[in-house]
Amino acid sequence: MENKHLPYMLLLPATIFLCVFFIYPFTLVAWEAFSKDGAFTMEHFQTMTSNWKFEISFWNTLLLAAAVVPIQLALSLLMATMVSKMQKGRDIVLYIWTIPLGISDLAAGIIWLAIFDQSGYLNSMLYGLGVIDQPENFLSYQNKSTIFIAIVLAEIWRATAIMLVILVAGIGLIPKEYYEAAEVFGASNWKRFTKITLPMLKPSLQTALVLRVILAFEVFAVVAALGGTNFPVLMGETYNWQFELQDGNVAAAYALVILAISIVFTLVILRVLRVPKGAQV
Amino acid sequence: MAEIQIKNVAKTFGSYQALHSIDMTISDREFMVLLGASGCGKTTLLRIIAGLETPSVGEVWIGDKRVDHLPPRQRGIAMVFQNYAVFPHLTVFENIAFGLRMNKLDDATIKERVNRTANLMHIEQLLQRYSGQLSGGQRQRVAVARALAMEPDVILMDEPLSNLDALLRLEMRAELKGVLADSNTTTIYVTHDQVEAMSLADRIAVMHEGRIVQANNPVEIYRNPAAHFVGSFIGNPPMNFLNATKGGKGKWNVAGKSFSGPQSGQENLEFAIRPEDVTLNGGGLDAKVRIVEPLGAHNLVTCDVDGSLFRAVIDSDSKVKAGEHISLAPMQDRIRWFDPQTTLAVA
C-alpha cells in the first residue's frame, strides 16, 4: 500500500510548486493574451502585429540569436577542448572564464556601455592613439551596425561560459580509450574532434544549446543598456507594453510569442542532435 | 615485413621507473606475449610500441623504420583495447570501417573488407547494431574485427580477453589463435594470465618490475625458468623451492637428502622442482602432508618439507591423507638450481 503511493507522494511537492508558480501564472498570461472582457479574442495579437515595432523586434531578436549562438557554440567548444587538455591550472582558468556568469546582465550591459560610450574607454583609447580626432558616438541611432556588434560582443562575453561549463563536464565524461582507439586507427586531431568528441558530446550540446537559445530569445537588459530604443527586441517590447504603455494584454501576447519561438527551437535542437536508439553510451 | 625492435627503452613516470632499459626483437609474424603481474610494465611497453606513450629513452623500430617519434596512426599498427573501445555512437559496420575511412579507402573496398572480417569473427548479422546492443563477447569480436580490417603489419592486444567470463575466454582464445595465425601479422599480446600466454604464444616475454626476466618459447619458459621469479610465477601450482647446502663434488644437501647438482663455488643454492615432477617413491624427500585436494585428474597435495611449503601433484588413485608422512622423489633431470643472491638459474 505504502510502496504504491510513495512515488506520487515524493512527486507531490514539485508538482504543487510547478502548478502554483508555473502552470497557474502561465494560464493567466495566456488568458490575458486571448481575452477581452471575459471573451476569446485575437484583438491583442492584432494590436501587437500591427505595431511597426513588432516585426523589427522579432527579426532583431532572431538575428541577434543567429549571430551570438553559433559564435558562442564555436568558442565554448574551443575553450572546453583547451581546458580539457590542460594538466595544471585548469580550475583557475575555468573560474576566470566563468566570472562573467556571476555578473547580472544589466551590469554586463553597463560595463560594455562604459567601453562604447561617447566618453567611454574605446573612444579615450582611440583618441589617445590619435586614430580619431574627436569622440565618436558608436551607439547612436545612425550607427545601427555598431550597436549590433556591441550587443553581440557583450552577449558573447557574458554568456559563453554557461555553455562552456556544460561542455567541459560533457567532455570529461568521454572515456580516454575512445580517443586512443581513434588515434591508433588513423584519426588526426581534427578527426578525433569531429568523429569522437562531437558525436559523443551530443547530450551536452543539446542541453547547452537549448539553454543558450532560450536565453538568447529572452535577451533584454544588455540590449536596453547598449541600444536603448534604437534596437528593439521582443523582450524589450514586452516590457514596454506592460510598463510604459500599460497594456498587459499585448505584453502577454508578446510573452506567448517568445514562448512559442523557444519551444520551436528547443524541438528543432532536440531533433537535430538526437542520439539514435541503441547508440546511447 | 614487420620485425619489431625495442632498443634500450626505459620509461619513468615522475620518480617512478616503470621500465628499465628493455631490449627485445620480435620477428616478423611472430606471436609475442608480454606476461607479468599487474604493475610490471607490460602495458606501458605495449603503449610505447603503439605510440600512446613516449619512451623516456630508447628507440622503437617497426620494419626498417624508426617510429618512436611518430604518432600512432603513422606506425602501421592496429590495436585491441582491454575495454574494447568500440565506439558507442557508430554501428558495428562503421566501427569496423573506422580505420579504413580514416585512411580514405574507397567505399567498395571498405564494404568488402568489413564484410570479410565480420564473417571471420562471426558477427556479420550484427553489422547494423550499436555497441550498446551487444554482449561483451560480441563487442570483443567487433574490436578484433576492427583491427583485422586494417590488414596491419602489427596487431597490439592489451588484455583483450580479461573482461570476458571464463567459458567465453576459452572459446575466444582458440578463435583468436586461428584467426591471427592466418592473418600474417606480427602480434604483441599483453596478459597477466599465464594459461592464455602459454596457449597463444610463439614466444613469451616474462616481465617483472619493469624488466624482461626471460623471453623464450612457452615450453622452455616452463621447463627452464631463467630466474626464481619465472619459476614461481609460471605454472599452477608454481615451482617448489628448497634450500640446498654444499656437499662437495657437485653434491648438494636438500632437506637431509643428497642430490647431484652444478659444480658451483657457492655455499648455498636454491633447489627447485615442479609439483608434477615428483613421484611417490621411497628414498625421496620426507614430507608431512597438510592438505589433500582432489582435482579429478590428479590430487594436489600440500606438504611441509624441512619447514618449507611444498606442493606435489600425484595420481588421484593414491590414498594419501592429511597428517601422514610421505616420501617424494624428485625426477633428477627435472631438478633446477637457482642462485639465492642473483635469483638467476645456475646450470
Residues A237/A218, Cβ–Cβ less than 8 Å: no
Q: B198-227: per-residue pLDDT in tens?
A: 999 999 999 999 999 999 999 999 999 999
Domain containing residue A263: CATH number: 1.10.3720.10
Q: Same domain, yes or no, for A9 and A58?
A: no
pLDDT at B35: 95
Which of 3.40.50.720, 3.30.70.270, 3.40.30.10, 2.40.50.140 would CATH assign to domain B240-346? 2.40.50.140
- A:B CB pairs within 8 Å: 71
Q: B82-118: per-residue pLDDT in tens?
A: 999 999 999 999 999 999 999 999 999 999 999 999 9
Q: Residue B79's Cα: distance from chain center in Å?
A: 18
Q: Which of residues 185-204 of A touch B (CB under 8 A)?
A: 185-188, 191, 195-196, 199-200, 202
Asked whether the beta carbons of residue B78 and residue A276 sit closer than 8 angstroms, the reply is no
Domain B240-346 in the same topology as domain B4-233: no
Residue A36 has pLDDT above 90, yes or no: no
Residues A199/B89, Cβ–Cβ less than 8 Å: yes
pLDDT band (50, 70, 90) for residue A277: confident
The span from the CA of B191 to the CA of B34, in Å, is 6
Q: A225-262: per-residue pLDDT in tens?
A: 988 888 899 999 999 999 988 888 999 999 999 999 99
Q: Same domain, yes or no, for A7 and A88?
A: no
Q: Same domain, yes or no, for A1 and A103?
A: no
A93 domain residue, yes or no: yes
Q: Same domain, yes or no, for A181 and A268?
A: yes
Q: Which of B73, B83, B133 sits opposite A186 (nearest CB)?
A: B73
Q: A146-187: per-residue pLDDT in tens?
A: 889 999 999 999 989 999 999 999 999 999 999 999 999 999
A78 domain residue, yes or no: yes
Chain A contact for B53 (CB, 8 A cutoff): no
A126 domain residue, yes or no: no
Q: Same domain, yes or no, for A90 and A9?
A: no
Q: Residue B78's Cα: distance from chain center in Å?
A: 20
pLDDT at A281: 58
Q: A85-144: per-residue pLDDT in tens?
A: 888 888 899 999 989 888 888 999 999 999 988 888 888 888 888 888 887 788 877 778
Residue A1 has pLDDT above 60, yes or no: no
pLDDT at A62: 94
A137 domain residue, yes or no: no
Rounded to an integer, the average pLDDT of B9-35 is 93
Q: Same domain, yes or no, for A36 and A9?
A: yes
The span from the CA of B80 to the CA of B187, in Å, is 11
Using only C-alpha atoms, chain B has a radius of gyration, in whole angstroms, of 24
What percent of chain A clears pLDDT 90, i.e. is strictly above it? 62
Q: Same domain, yes or no, for A62 and A36?
A: no
Task: For residue A158, give the DSSP letter.
Answer: H
Q: Which of B71, B89, B103 sits opposite A199 (nearest CB)?
A: B89
A140 domain residue, yes or no: no
A117 domain residue, yes or no: no
Alpha helices in B154-256 (DSSP H): 166-182, 194-200, 218-223, 228-233
Domains of chain B by residue range = 4-233, 240-346
Report the residue of chain A nearest B94, measured CA to CA.
A195
Q: B171-183: per-residue pLDDT in tens?
A: 889 888 888 888 8
Rounded to an integer, the average pLDDT of B261-266 is 83
When divided into structural domains, chain A yields a total of: 2
Q: Same domain, yes or no, for A27 and A58?
A: no
Chain A contact for B54 (CB, 8 A cutoff): no
A31 domain residue, yes or no: yes
Instruction: State the average pLDDT for chain A.
Output: 90
pLDDT at A133: 82
Q: Same domain, yes or no, for A159 and A35?
A: no
Q: Which of B98, B129, B130 sits opposite A185 (nearest CB)?
A: B98
Q: Which of A181, A191, A200 sits opposite B81 (nearest CB)?
A: A181
Residues of B in contact with A183 (CB under 8 A): 51-52, 71-73
* Best B54, B84, B89 residue to mutate vs chain A (most A CBs within 10 Å): B89
Q: In CATH, which superfamily holds the domain spanning B4-233?
A: P-loop containing nucleotide triphosphate hydrolases (3.40.50.300)
Q: Same domain, yes or no, for A183 and A244?
A: yes
pLDDT at A203: 92
What domain range is A14 assigned to?
1-41
